[in-house]
Homo-oligomer: A and B are copies of this chain.
Amino acid sequence: MKKTKQQNNLIIERKNRKSYEELMTDETIFALANGVLGTRGHFIEGYGMYDYPQTLVNGFYNTYPYKYEENYKQFPQVGQTIVNLPDASYIKIESDDEVIDLSHAEFIELDRNLDMNQGTTFRKATYLTKHGYEFQIVEEKIVPYDINMVVSRLKVKSNNYQGKIRLTSYLRMPLEKKAHPLDPRLPYATKDLDIEQIHADHDFAYLTARTTNTSLSARVCMTHDQPLDYKVEDDEVHASMIYDLKPNIDISLTKYQLYYTDLETDDFDQAMDEDLKNLRKFEDYVETETIIRKDFWSKSDIQVDDTRIEQALHFNIYQLNLSGGVQPSTSIAAKGITGEGYEGHYFWDTEIYLLPFFILTQPQKAKNLLMYRYQTLHHARLEAKNLGGTRGAKIPWRTINGKEASPYYPAGSAQIHINSDIAFAIKSYFEATNDLEFMTDYGAEILLETAIFLLDYGHFQNQSFHLNSVTGPDEYSAIVDNNYYTNRMAKAHFEYTYDFITEHKDSLNALLERIDITNNDLELMKKAAKQMTLLVNQESNVIKQDASFMSKKELDIEGIPKQNFPLLLNYHPLYIYKHQVLKQADTMIALVLLDEHDKTLYQNTFEYYLKRTTHDSSLSKCIYGIAAYHLGHHELGYKYFKAVTEFDLMDVKKFTRYGLHVANLGGSYLMLIYGLFGIRMNKILLINPAYQTEIKKAKTTILYQGVSIDLSLNQQKINIKTNAPLTVMIYGQKVIIDQEHEFEMISF
């Protein structure tokens, strides 16, 4: 029996962050989600001015026509965007003659927290009105795990006002999105929803809207724990009530926002009726959530004696866990369900940066995420043809519905490495779970179709296999030849595909026949893997990022003014591309993921590229951090560990307001697992803890091949405990862990 772990450091508190920037950022930090529905930490009473409340359902999207000044018919002709749902978050608070919000009153104090023990946010705002009244607004909020609902409990109190308070609870179409025409990372303003139905009953109201192009339907219903007066006014429902407020005595109102989309529900009426019947008190939801969160924390136990890192890691995996993976019909968006940045698109982030967390703690979610790729494989097959391919499947670079939605192909479709990224994730999942059924039913088909595309895309020349005109992970080089990461991952992809298919040939013959893959194809994969072009500068013994990188002009990164980062917003792509400068780790990801053995090459390559990396992408530092740990640069590793874990909490890039950097959330977990504990998911689990001195104590729990493993670090000692015997590889030595095993960190 596993004993229950006691997880501390699960409350994120913030005080008096009152500026516009801070409020917007904290909307993200205090976002709540359940893996399907997400809602940001906007104020229930609004701000009165720059309100833009966002409640999103993962995968609920619209399309809109793309316009290219020079159009090519192979370019995606429509964009995809997650759709902000009708807004039921707002309750207007009015005293006799004042509105209580930021536009009409001043903040005296603002306290907020996210309690990860119970899945709630708490906010207490004290306002001073122009008439000199002080009001305290308390808002508690929860999004239950099993229903797409937001429950908010509002309390209003004053120490010096006595009189009427009117609360008007709104249900309305979403507010207008602001456009950011000069930042390619942010969406254009589009009108995505048409109202279809609006209805106010005596104790609830709902609004149904439909996306303009994808014709997806969403209903939002609101109700309250008290009888209010519901009225439809134009396209809005207002439900109001007047209270008598006495000094220092709360009035309280709980609002229930119920969300339905036809991604999850066929019959809105029936679902809504049922939900309305079963509503519970706020405390009841908290109670249930507390149990669920406890279970989560026990399976995802993390303890680090650096409390800031520990807290940040808690926050990160907490948010990561709620960002998706619940159903196989969606993946995880770059911003999770916490904002519309990157339009709610799914990238390779999921498989490379997020999946390890799910594989090692909740393999069912990992499987769901991989199933998304399987379910959209038909679109990937068409995209392969679109790119001139004759066979196989090309996973879209960014997508919601499975079709390619990247309008700027040099940093989009050209990133064919995504095929091997998915393959790598499938391999990791299988090694960690032995889920052979998944592999024979789905995994093998993805492996094969993505591999055959690469085989077709590339070519043999002089006994070498080449992949030309591709873009690697680093988007500050584009359309290059023989990008090391792409090629190295393709090599692993070919090898693994060959090995897996060969080993399970009997059960896969029908598949091979159906998708028309012959022995010759498999042999060609083997040959391509063997002859894969992997460029190394022999003189300096540094891997070449691609065929041209090292011959490019050097850029004095230190000399660039701070305000000119990220470079992509301030320099022409040609200027960026012609220089030896990286947005993010590239070659190093291959060395990290595939656990390169040549230490000198690893070290030289690390040094060479780190100097040239801007880390303009949030996918960068965690990789360098892991590599730093691996190489024994533990001071740097620790520095990056801190930076990566606190990336959103500290709003390092001043961009958290648009949503969490979910890849970085996962990346911080990778720093713990890949970096500190030196885990790699092979057939036999590798454990090569990094030699380091900064973190004295750390613990975590993972699941591998059905065995629960507690890993703990105490000074220079590592302790491994399992609930069943498991063979692992520690610093290159095979060890059968039977209950417990302790060993020393090895210094390189």
Assess whether A227 is interfacial by the CB under 8 Å rule: no
Minimal beta-carbon separation of A71 from chain B (angstroms): 6
A572 and B72 alpha carbons, distance in the complex (Å): 7
A529 and B469 alpha carbons, distance in the complex (Å): 29
| Stretch in contact with the other chain, from A292-300, A407-415, A634-642, A726-734 | A407-415
Assess whether A422 is interfacial by the CB under 8 Å rule: no
Asked whether, in the complex, the Cβ of A410 is within 8 Å of the Cβ of B407, the reply is no
| Stretch in contact with the other chain, from A306-314, A432-440, A544-552, A645-653 | A544-552
Asked whether, in the complex, the Cβ of B73 is within 8 Å of the Cβ of A569, the reply is yes
CB contacts (< 8 Å) of A574 on chain B: these are 387-388, 409, 413-414, 469, 479
User: Residue A578 contacts which of B79, B188, B468, B577 (CB distance < 8 angstroms)?
Assistant: B468
Asked whether, in the complex, the Cβ of B71 is within 8 Å of the Cβ of A182, the reply is yes
CB contacts (< 8 Å) of A72 on chain B: these are 182, 184, 568-569, 572-573
Minimal beta-carbon separation of A146 from chain B (angstroms): 38
Q: Provided the pairs A469-B578, A547-B548, A578-B457 are in contact, do residues A73 and B479 lie with their beta carbons within 8 angstroms?
A: no
CB contacts (< 8 Å) of A183 on chain B: these are 71
A461 and B478 alpha carbons, distance in the complex (Å): 21
Q: Provided the pairs A479-B479, A551-B466 are in contact, do residues A387 and B71 lie with their beta carbons within 8 angstroms?
A: no
CB contacts (< 8 Å) of A469 on chain B: these are 552, 574, 577-578
Minimal beta-carbon separation of A399 from chain B (angstroms): 14
CB contacts (< 8 Å) of A578 on chain B: these are 457, 468-470
CB contacts (< 8 Å) of A75 on chain B: these are 572
Minimal beta-carbon separation of A397 from chain B (angstroms): 12
Q: Provided the pairs A386-B572, A547-B547, A548-B547 are in contact, do residues A553 and B468 lie with their beta carbons within 8 angstroms?
A: yes
Assess whether A351 is interfacial by the CB under 8 Å rule: no
Within 8 A of B (CB), among A3-58: none
Minimal beta-carbon separation of A437 from chain B (angstroms): 36
Interface size on A, as a range, is 35 or more
Minimal beta-carbon separation of A173 from chain B (angstroms): 25
Assess whether A69 is interfacial by the CB under 8 Å rule: yes
A481 and B551 alpha carbons, distance in the complex (Å): 9
CB contacts (< 8 Å) of A576 on chain B: these are 388
A433 and B68 alpha carbons, distance in the complex (Å): 44
CB contacts (< 8 Å) of A743 on chain B: these are none
Asked whether, in the complex, the Cβ of A478 is within 8 Å of the Cβ of B481, the reply is no
Among A70, A73, A79, residue most surrounded by chain B Cβ atoms (within 10 Å): A70
CB-defined interface of A527-552 with B at 8 Å, one 1/0 digit per residue?
Answer: 00000000000000000000110011
A574 and B410 alpha carbons, distance in the complex (Å): 9
CB contacts (< 8 Å) of A408 on chain B: these are 68-70
Minimal beta-carbon separation of A404 from chain B (angstroms): 10
Minimal beta-carbon separation of A732 from chain B (angstroms): 38
A577 and B410 alpha carbons, distance in the complex (Å): 11
Among A183, A468, A570, A572, residue most surrounded by chain B Cβ atoms (within 10 Å): A572
Asked whether, in the complex, the Cβ of B551 is within 8 Å of the Cβ of A74, the reply is no
Q: Provided the pairs A479-B574, A572-B387 are in contact, do residues A461 and B551 lie with their beta carbons within 8 angstroms?
A: yes
Asked whether, in the complex, the Cβ of A387 is within 8 Å of the Cβ of B575, the reply is yes
Q: Provided the pairs A67-B69, A574-B387, A577-B479 are in contact, do residues A468 and B548 lie with their beta carbons within 8 angstroms?
A: yes
Assess whether A655 is interfacial by the CB under 8 Å rule: no
Assess whether A654 is interfacial by the CB under 8 Å rule: no
Asked whether, in the complex, the Cβ of B572 is within 8 Å of the Cβ of A458, the reply is no
Assess whether A459 is interfacial by the CB under 8 Å rule: yes
A573 and B411 alpha carbons, distance in the complex (Å): 13
CB contacts (< 8 Å) of A411 on chain B: these are 70
Minimal beta-carbon separation of A41 from chain B (angstroms): 29
CB contacts (< 8 Å) of A457 on chain B: these are 578
Asked whether, in the complex, the Cβ of B410 is within 8 Å of the Cβ of A410, the reply is yes
Assess whether A608 is interfacial by the CB under 8 Å rule: no
Assess whether A243 is interfacial by the CB under 8 Å rule: no
Kindly list the 5 A-B residue pairs having the minimum CB-CB distance in the complex, ordered from nearest.
A388-B575, A69-B407, A469-B578, A70-B184, A74-B572
Q: List residues of A whose CB falls within 8 A of some B CB.
A: 66-75, 79, 181-184, 188, 386-388, 407-411, 413-414, 457-459, 461, 466, 468-470, 478-479, 481, 547-548, 551-554, 568-578
| 10 contacting pairs across A/B (C-beta < 8 A) | A68-B68, A72-B568, A72-B573, A74-B571, A74-B572, A388-B571, A466-B551, A466-B553, A469-B577, A547-B551
Besides A70-B184, A547-B551, 8 more A-B contacts (Cβ < 8 Å) are A68-B68, A71-B181, A72-B569, A73-B570, A409-B574, A457-B578, A468-B553, A481-B552
